[in-house]
Amino acid sequence: MLSSDQKGTFTDFVEQGSRTVTYKTDPVPLFDVSYGVEVLRGLFIQGAVSRVNGSRTAEIEEQVPHPFLFGQMRTLKGTATDLSRDEIAVHFQAGAVAPLGRRLQVGIAGGPSFFKLKQTFVTDVAYSQEYPYDTVTYTSATTALSEKNRWGFNVQGNVTYQGSVTVSALISTSSGRCNGTRSNVSGSATDSGLTLPVPGDWRWNECVSSERDITVTLTK
């Protein structure tokens, strides 16, 4: 399960409160298609497209100022569900394959990657309260869909041993990074996947998208 945090502050009753939203994404299938051609002996070019589509939940915790007592925060907890997340990655590679002896072969490849991510963020929280206002109860969350496109890079390595049984090990990684700003409430949002600016609610944001794969294949 992937997990990421979104933190920020807000002003209520002329006092600053805080909000932490923890997003949790269950594992979902990865759709991946790739194709490559050898342009010269041992040299090749390749392209790949992958997509991950699913939903996630948001566990919300706030420290809400008291309307009458300064410095006395009230804790709010709630959960928002079915928040969408859709990531598409396009990878371009150039690489080389070379033999190391009679049975061992190694390859390395790399190139630019393009990431397109859409995901839903919590932008505000509604709650109810009753006199003497010492507690608050979560009622709902306002959400907004945000989208970000970024270029990054990818690297791939492959080792193949040919014997009575051929063993092939593939290790690949790709990542992208970006920075951006938004006005209004100050805060930050980071994600183990590509993190987006939260619409109209958080000021600082950082984008980090990464994919890592390790594949071992045995053939006779």
Query: Token match 């009622």: residue?
Result: 139
Contact (CB, 8 A) for 106 and 158: yes
The answer to whether 160 and 176 have CB atoms below 8 angstroms apart is no
For residue 108, the one-letter residue type is I
What separation in angstroms does the CA of 207 have from each of 79, 145, 193?
A: 24, 16, 8
- Tell me the three state secondary structure of residue 185: coil
Kindly state the helix (H) or strand (E) to which residue 50 belongs, with its residue range: strand 43-64
pLDDT the model gives residue 76: 97
C-alpha 17/C-alpha 71 separation (Å) is: 10
How much is the pLDDT for 31? 85
Q: What range defines the domain where residue 212 resides?
A: 2-219
Token output for 216: 């071992």
What is the number of domains present in the chain? 1
Tokens of 95: 């690489």
- One digit per residue, the tens of pLDDT, for the chain of length 220 reads 667 888 999 999 999 999 999 999 888 888 888 888 999 988 999 999 999 898 999 999 999 999 999 999 999 999 999 999 999 999 999 999 998 888 888 889 999 999 998 999 999 999 999 999 999 999 999 999 999 898 888 888 888 887 766 566 656 666 654 443 332 333 333 333 333 343 333 322 333 444 555 545 455 4
> What CATH number did the domain enclosing 204 receive?
2.40.128
Query: In whole angstroms, what is the distance from residue 100 CA to residue 159 CA?
Result: 10
Note the pTM of the prediction, 2 decimals. Answer: 0.68
